[in-house]
């Protein structure tokens, strides 16, 4: 009797950050829908994030989860810092390698690994086991490109920085014209010594393994980043722009399906009561405020926000994560006056069902830290943005949003008066202008994921690429 053909087996591995896991899970589910056998690998330490995970076996029988040790002691803080990346590089690698060897004996043999751009050890494991691999990028092509221009910036004397002016613009860099400021570069570029082990580690860590990668899969789309994507493509064998992945998945499995997937790995449970509150608000009147899953703010900043929001006169729905306030030197509690005041004007939650919120007809604008998922979700819901970027890729994304796409404005200073006037600009004086721009970008995103669209085609090519790997 003929042996039944086994599907290609793709192993996913990423850093334990909400903004990375969600788009990668969306990709994993899309590939599983296409008949590929998927294993998503997490560390034991994040198992608690899966406590509410409903049984996906009916919906996605090809999607499997495995847990490995990250090799770190239990009391390790596991915050996303330089040290964490150093530590997991060597400590987690043997556990991942053992798992893949074991998967080969109990499931279809592993055909390829898809790993997060910020960790190299899965690529090393793939190399050692003779398995092809892809690099996944959870943020914009513009930010991804900043890593590859560093040698040229050094050659041209832009690095190390000559002074402390982080807003200094760097011109003449193909693909990043008009959006490159010192502060938009990867964080290690601020190190004063470009020959230091830290600088070299992070430069080589993110770009050094690229020759071994079969391609870059990125959660953006051709029309959104038509400047930077062609430049980025010069550094990889192949670039697959397949975004926005959440919208792609929603188009396959139903609206908010990706939110459901994303909330499985969230540390906080989304408060659905805010939807009932939104139901009672006038059309397009509410400002949704959320700074994502990682960043912290001071208690005094929080108060400035509160005054700015209340003074703007617009109702607001505000996500204040229980761990959002810095604990150092300040009281790590939400000020009581903030909670009381917000009762009249707004609604505060620990964590919101963000995609559903953005699609609610009462929401008119999004005050965001510019995480790439938040931007993509806002675009798809046709909601203009106020950008308050703090770290990492958020800084260049804010310039992309406000200067190139013109679908939002950047908050220039974090005081109550600037906050109030910026909200009024977006939600009153320039409302229609921003709405028109975001509609235009949303239409091109929708076209991209639709039949024959660029992202749709790219994902088909990717799937074929993976299937061919299995044959080889």
Which residues are known catalytic residues? 20, 116
Helices in 270-409 by DSSP H: which ranges?
A: 273-279, 299-312, 336-345, 354-359, 372-380, 394-399
Q: How far is the CB of 265 from ligand UDP (least distance, A)?
A: 10
The nearer residue to ligand UDP, 69 or 298, going by C-beta atoms, is 298
Options 148-156, 286-294, 324-332, 460-468: segment touching ligand UDP (CB under 6 A): 286-294
Q: Which of 120, 213, 354, 398 binds ligand UDP (CB under 6 A)?
A: 354
The residues pairing with 181 across neighbouring beta strands, listed in sequence order, are 169
User: What's the rounded Cα separation, in Å, for the pair 38 and 31?
Assistant: 8
Q: Which of 351, 359, 367, 388 binds ligand UDP (CB under 6 A)?
A: 351
User: What's the rounded Cα separation, in Å, for the pair 427 and 209?
Assistant: 45
363 lies in the binding site for ligand UDP (CB under 6 A): no
Per-residue binding string, ligand UDP, 307-336, x by CB under 6 A, is: ------------x-----------------
140 lies in the binding site for ligand UDP (CB under 6 A): no
248 to each of 204, 220, 396, 425, how far by Cα in Å? Answer: 33, 11, 24, 32
The nearer residue to ligand UDP, 350 or 447, going by C-beta atoms, is 350
The nearer residue to ligand UDP, 22 or 64, going by C-beta atoms, is 22
290 lies in the binding site for ligand UDP (CB under 6 A): yes
User: What's the rounded Cα separation, in Å, for the pair 381 and 442?
Assistant: 8
19 lies in the binding site for ligand UDP (CB under 6 A): yes
Q: Which of 122, 244, 262, 389 binds ligand UDP (CB under 6 A)?
A: 262
The residues pairing with 288 across neighbouring beta strands, listed in sequence order, are 317, 366
Q: Are strands 316-319 and 346-349 parallel, antiparallel or unpaired?
A: parallel
Q: Which of 224, 232, 287, 294 binds ligand UDP (CB under 6 A)?
A: 294
Options 164-172, 231-239, 351-359, 429-437: segment touching ligand UDP (CB under 6 A): 351-359
User: What's the rounded Cα separation, in Å, for the pair 196 and 180?
Assistant: 24
Helix (H, G, I), strand (E, B) or coil at 22: helix
Q: Which of 352, 407, 426, 445 binds ligand UDP (CB under 6 A)?
A: 352
Q: How far is the CB of 231 from ligand UDP (least distance, A)?
A: 23
Q: Which of 18, 227, 250, 455 binds ligand UDP (CB under 6 A)?
A: 18
Options 15-23, 77-85, 95-103, 115-123: segment touching ligand UDP (CB under 6 A): 15-23
User: What's the rounded Cα separation, in Å, for the pair 301 and 320?
Assistant: 12
88 lies in the binding site for ligand UDP (CB under 6 A): no
Q: How far is the CB of 116 from ligand UDP (least distance, A)?
A: 12
Q: How far is the CB of 140 from ligand UDP (least distance, A)?
A: 10
Options 46-54, 202-210, 340-348, 373-381: segment touching ligand UDP (CB under 6 A): 373-381
298 to each of 291, 326, 334, 342, how far by Cα in Å? Answer: 13, 5, 10, 18
* DSSP state, residue 330: S
User: What's the rounded Cα separation, in Å, for the pair 133 and 111?
Assistant: 9
> Based on the number of CB atoms within 10 Å of its own CB, is 138 exposed (0-12), middle (13-18) or buried (19 or more)?
buried
Q: Which of 37, 42, 318, 372 binds ligand UDP (CB under 6 A)?
A: 372
Q: How far is the CB of 34 from ligand UDP (least distance, A)?
A: 23
Question: What is the sign of the dihedral through the CA atoms of 374, 380, 381 and 384?
Answer: positive
Q: How far is the CB of 123 from ligand UDP (least distance, A)?
A: 22
Q: Which of 374, 398, 454, 456 binds ligand UDP (CB under 6 A)?
A: 374
Q: Are strands 63-68 and 37-43 parallel, antiparallel or unpaired?
A: parallel
111 lies in the binding site for ligand UDP (CB under 6 A): no
22 lies in the binding site for ligand UDP (CB under 6 A): yes
The nearer residue to ligand UDP, 37 or 367, going by C-beta atoms, is 367
The nearer residue to ligand UDP, 309 or 466, going by C-beta atoms, is 309
Helix (H, G, I), strand (E, B) or coil at 34: coil
> Based on the number of CB atoms within 10 Å of its own CB, is 117 exposed (0-12), middle (13-18) or buried (19 or more)?
buried
The residues pairing with 366 across neighbouring beta strands, listed in sequence order, are 288, 385
231 lies in the binding site for ligand UDP (CB under 6 A): no
Q: Which residues, in sequence order, are CB contacts of 242 under 8 Å at separation 6+? A: 27, 217, 218, 219, 221, 248, 455, 458, 459, 462
Task: Count Cβ atoms below 10 Å from residue 272 Cβ, excluding itself.
Answer: 11
Q: Are strands 363-368 and 133-137 parallel, antiparallel or unpaired?
A: unpaired
Options 45-53, 217-225, 338-346, 368-376: segment touching ligand UDP (CB under 6 A): 368-376
Contacting residues toward ligand UDP, per CB under 6 A: 17-19, 22, 262, 270, 290, 292-294, 319, 351-352, 354-355, 371-374, 377
């Amino acid at each position: 009797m003929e042996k039944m053909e086994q599907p290609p087996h793709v192993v996913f591995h990423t850093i334990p950050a909400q903004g990375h896991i969600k788009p990668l899970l969306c990709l994993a589910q899309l590939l599983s829908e296409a008949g590929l056998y998927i294993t998503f690998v997490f560390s034991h330490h994040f198992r608690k994030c899966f406590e509410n995970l409903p049984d996906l076996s009916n919906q996605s029988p090809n999607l499997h989860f495995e847990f490995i040790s990250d090799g770190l002691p239990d009391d390790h803080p596991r915050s996303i810092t330089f040290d964490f990346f150093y530590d997991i590089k060597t400590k987690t690698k043997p556990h991942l390698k053992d798992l893949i060897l074991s998967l080969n004996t109990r499931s279809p043999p592993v055909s390829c690994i898809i790993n997060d751009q910020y960790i190299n050890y899965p690529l090393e494991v793939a190399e050692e086991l003779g398995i092809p691999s892809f690099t996944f990028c959870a943020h914009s092509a513009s930010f991804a490109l900043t890593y590859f221009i560093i040698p040229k910036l050094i050659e041209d004397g832009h690095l190390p920085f000559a002074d402390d002016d982080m807003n200094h613009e760097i011109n003449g860099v193909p693909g990043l014209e008009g959006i490159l400021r010192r502060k938009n570069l990867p964080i290690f570029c601020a190190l004063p010594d470009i020959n230091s082990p830290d600088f070299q580690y992070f430069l080589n860590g993110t770009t050094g393994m690229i020759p071994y990668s079969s391609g870059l899969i990125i959660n953006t789309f051709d029309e959104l980043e038509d400047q930077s994507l062609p430049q980025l493509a010069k550094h990889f064998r192949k670039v697959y722009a397949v975004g926005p992945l959440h919208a792609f998945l929603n188009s396959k499995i139903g609206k908010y399906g990706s939110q459901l997937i994303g909330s499985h790995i969230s540390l906080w449970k989304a408060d659905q009561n805010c939807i009932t509150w939104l139901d009672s608000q006038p059309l397009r009147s509410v400002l949704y405020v959320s700074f994502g899953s990682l960043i912290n703010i001071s208690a005094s900043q929080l108060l400035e926000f509160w005054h700015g929001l209340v003074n703007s006169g617009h109702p607001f729905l505000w996500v204040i994560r229980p761990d959002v306030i810095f604990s150092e030197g300040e009281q790590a509690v939400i000020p009581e006056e903030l909670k009381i005041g917000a009762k009249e004007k707004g609604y505060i939650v620990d964590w919101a069902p963000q995609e559903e919120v953005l699609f609610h007809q009462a929401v008119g604008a999004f005050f965001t830290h510019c995480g790439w998922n938040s931007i993509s979700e806002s675009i798809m819901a046709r909601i203009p943005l106020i950008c308050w970027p703090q770290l990492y890729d958020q800084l260049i994304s804010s310039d992309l949003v406000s200067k190139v796409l013109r679908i939002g404005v950047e908050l220039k200073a974090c005081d109550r008066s600037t906050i109030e006037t910026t909200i009024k600009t977006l939600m009153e004086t320039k409302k229609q202008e921003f709405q028109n721009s975001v509609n235009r970008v949303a239409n091109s995103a929708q076209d991209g994921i639709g039949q024959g669209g660029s992202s749709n085609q790219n994902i088909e090519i990717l799937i074929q690429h993976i299937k061919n790997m299995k044959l080889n």
